[in-house]
Structure 1
Amino acid sequence: MGESKCSIDLVNTGLKMWCTLGIQVPVVCAPMATGSTAKLVTQVVLGGGFAFIPAGYENVRHLREELATTRSILSSSGQSHSLRLAVGVGFYGWKLDQDGDGANAMLDAALQAGVRAIWFSFGSELGKYVEYVRESDTNTGRKTLIFIQVNSVDEALKAVNEWHADIVVAQGIEAGGPGANYAPPAFNLVSSILSALPPNAPPVLAAGGIINGAQIAGFLALGAAGAVLGTRFLLTPESAYTGPQKAALLISDSTSTVRSHAFAHARGTFGWPGNIDARGIRNKLVEDIENDEELSVVQERLADATKHGMSDYMVIYAGTGAADLHDIVEAQDVVKELYREIIARLRATQSILIEPKKVVIEPED
């Protein structure tokens, strides 16, 4: 990779967004509530990408600790030279709704840390939280980029026209973890959103089942500004997934994942909108939920399996791309590999733009 913080121009995106975020590769690590850690987030950033700390189901104290750890790691690596923190924080809209007055405290924890971006997902009233961030920025004189995750064209139009998102994240049905069960495949969704949005619309990022640079290059060619990856970063030493969970991902195949409400029910994380389920590895836990096993029994089995490292009864979120992952690779190296793959694929496709040489066919005798 080049030395410039704006070397993303090499792939012809021409987007100021990447320079604002201070990254070199059009890759974002998703805010994975059960998979991300401060170490993972910082290593993605140090590799040249961007990453989000998940607020998830945690409290203010935990979020502040994660932000402080992130700042400490980046500072020790010589990457933090200002009050701005080179990461983002992801929030579930429905969870902020449940938090009531505590929602502002959660948002304040991120904003006071000076994060560069806030990600909102899974909420019908995200506008009030977007407005809170905007008002905070006005008072402090900073600019925090707003990412809004969507699963349909209508949601994208609302994110742009009503909530004035800075970046739209188009999540397809292939995505691991929570997602909308009505979402089309990522390629179709991104294409439809790009067609529906006006020319001056904010950048669109593709999400769902993406694991390599060739796929990212395809989305760049389609018109997306980059891609969001989750499952690829779970198979890193820095992720929060345990050894048994990673092992289950490594042996998965194209039939291993399923969309289900079972994962949330087993974990006791209730409050999701009705059309939101999740994609993960189908195992005995999912089968028991589908067979109407008593929920308390399932949760006891989950706790015991987690304690003893039995992956056949753990919650293992994973996207459809998991089947093509066969190694555990450090997060920095993942980002660098993705960059090389993107550039190689884009350069390879340039050949179709070269005017073919004129071929002269000699007449037969």
Structure 2
Amino acid sequence: MAGVAGGELAAAVHKAGGIGFIGGGHTPLNSLKAEVDKARSSIGLAADDDLPASLGVGLILWRLEPPFLSPEAAATEPDRWLRYVLHTARASSLWLAFPNGGDWEGWIARARRIEAERERSDKVRLVVMVQRVETAKEALEWDGVDAIVLQGTESGGHGPAHEFGAPLASLTSHLASHVPNPASPPFVLGAGGLSSASSIAAALAPGVLAGVVPGTALCVADEALLPRAQKELLVHSSTSESVRGMSWDEARGTLGWPEGVDGRGIRNKTSEEPPKVAGSEEGRERYSRAVKEGDVERVVTWAGTGVGDVKRIAPAEEIVRELMAEVVGSPQL
């Protein structure tokens, strides 16, 4: 959750019994370092302590690849980031998302190679997020993967466009015969429209998913990085106001996403503009002013279809407990 999942939110989810991830790759490395420091401070870790497996780091991979980076930079930046995450931040869980070229196995091998450069007591838990059943089936066979996040079109933020992906229930159904035992790794986790205890219980009921990944519900946590005005907007928005498109990315100039990926957020003036208008020089200037002014009528507020179930701003621990209220046992995030 770029711009939302910082160190304090990840630490709060960890304390609540879930698995919290700090979002990285979308801002300079120093920003990620600051958020990792916040997480360490929040749970009382020393600088040379490994982060617990339930407090990890996630990376948006296309930002570390060509054409976003020059070939020269792309030859060194991925290793630099992974060495920070695995050696300096000492993360024990790593979430990889959105490689532009689809070279998942290359990224997995790179992460394992960097991991092996430092002695550690436990193996790093490696999570990959995919948007298609075909890719999920392949991922079940990839060496080195511990968990797969299956992302449906209901997901807020960036995810599968309607013509590329499918709702989570459909993805889960088509993958069912390939997951004989959800309690065995690699675990399959579901993402998309899961902002209430009942929706989570329904997603887990078929016995395919080992856990769930709520996003929108935690955007309104006290600890989330999202500005207060956008949290208030989420609380007062309905499911019908959650829409997919590329106009926000055109206006922001964030156009390196892999094929078939667009963004889902709360409908506003920017999303109603055709992409070419939003991405024009005038459109980008207009959006930049809106960011400075905190204008939620133009600035994107990412949100999935579960936004209609988001009713209040609250501490992350309370949100996690409420989300898992209908599931027996510990929180599965």
Deviation, structure 1 residue 276: 0.7
Where does the alignment leave 5 or more consecutive residues of structure 2 unmatched? none
Identical pairs, percent = 32
- Which aligned pairs between 1:185-204 and structure 2 lie closer than 5 A? 185-197=167-179, 199=181, 202-204=186-188
Residue correspondences, number = 310
- Whole-Å Cα distance in 1 between the matches of residues 317 and 247 of structure 2? 33
Deviation, structure 1 residue 292: 2.7
Structure 2 residue 2 is the aligned partner of structure 1 residue 33: yes
2:62 match = 94
Q: Indicate the structure (1 or 2) with the bigger Cα radius of gyration.
A: 1
Which of 111, 115, 131 is 2:109 aligned to? 131
Structure 2 residue 90 is the aligned partner of structure 1 residue 107: no
Which of 206, 209, 213 is 2:193 aligned to? 209
TM-aligned CA distance change 1:291 to 1:95, over 3 Å: closer
- Whole-Å Cα distance in 1 between the matches of residues 29 and 290 of structure 2? 29
- Whole-Å Cα distance in 1 between the matches of residues 4 and 49 of structure 2? 27
Structure 2 residue 83 is the aligned partner of structure 1 residue 83: no
- Whole-Å Cα distance in 2 between the matches of residues 259 and 302 of structure 1? 18
TM-score w.r.t. structure 1 length? 0.79
- Whole-Å Cα distance in 2 between the matches of residues 70 and 289 of structure 1? 40
Deviation, structure 1 residue 37: 1.7
Contact 1:209 1:321 in 2 (8 A): yes
- Whole-Å Cα distance in 1 between the matches of residues 308 and 300 of structure 2? 17
TM-aligned CA distance change 1:175 to 1:282, over 3 Å: same
Deviation, structure 1 residue 332: 1.1
- Whole-Å Cα distance in 1 between the matches of residues 8 and 306 of structure 2? 23
Deviation, structure 1 residue 201: 5.4
Q: Which amino acid aligns with 2:138?
A: K
TM-score w.r.t. structure 2 length? 0.87
- Whole-Å Cα distance in 2 between the matches of residues 340 and 283 of structure 1? 33
- Give the aligned CA root-mean-square deviation in angstroms: 2.1
The DSSP-based 3-state class of the residue aligned with 1:105 is: helix
Structure 2 residue 306 is the aligned partner of structure 1 residue 321: yes
TM-aligned CA distance change 1:42 to 1:138, over 3 Å: same
- Which aligned pairs between 1:1-365 and structure 2 lie closer than 5 A? 32-75=1-44, 83-86=49-52, 87-98=55-66, 99=69, 100=74, 101-112=76-87, 113-123=89-99, 124-139=102-117, 140-141=119-120, 142-181=122-161, 182-197=164-179, 199=181, 202-223=186-207, 224-290=209-275, 292-293=277-278, 295-343=280-328
Where does the alignment leave 5 or more consecutive residues of structure 1 unmatched? 1-31, 345-365
Q: Which amino acid aligns with 1:168?
A: I
TM-aligned CA distance change 1:153 to 1:34, over 3 Å: same
Q: Which amino acid aligns with 1:204?
A: V
Contact 2:250 2:275 in 1 (8 A): no
Task: Judge which range, 249-258 or 156-165, deviates more.
Answer: 156-165
The DSSP-based 3-state class of the residue aligned with 1:340 is: coil
1:11 match = none
Deviation, structure 1 residue 339: 2.9
Q: Which amino acid aligns with 1:122?
A: F
Q: Which amino acid aligns with 2:95?
A: W
- Whole-Å Cα distance in 1 between the matches of residues 6 and 131 of structure 2? 25
- Whole-Å Cα distance in 1 between the matches of residues 278 and 211 of structure 2? 42
Q: Which amino acid aligns with 2:93?
A: A
TM-aligned CA distance change 1:289 to 1:247, over 3 Å: farther
The DSSP-based 3-state class of the residue aligned with 1:107 is: helix
Deviation, structure 1 residue 264: 1.5
More helix per residue: 1
- Whole-Å Cα distance in 1 between the matches of residues 92 and 80 of structure 2? 18
Task: Judge which range, 172-181 or 251-260, deviates more.
Answer: 251-260
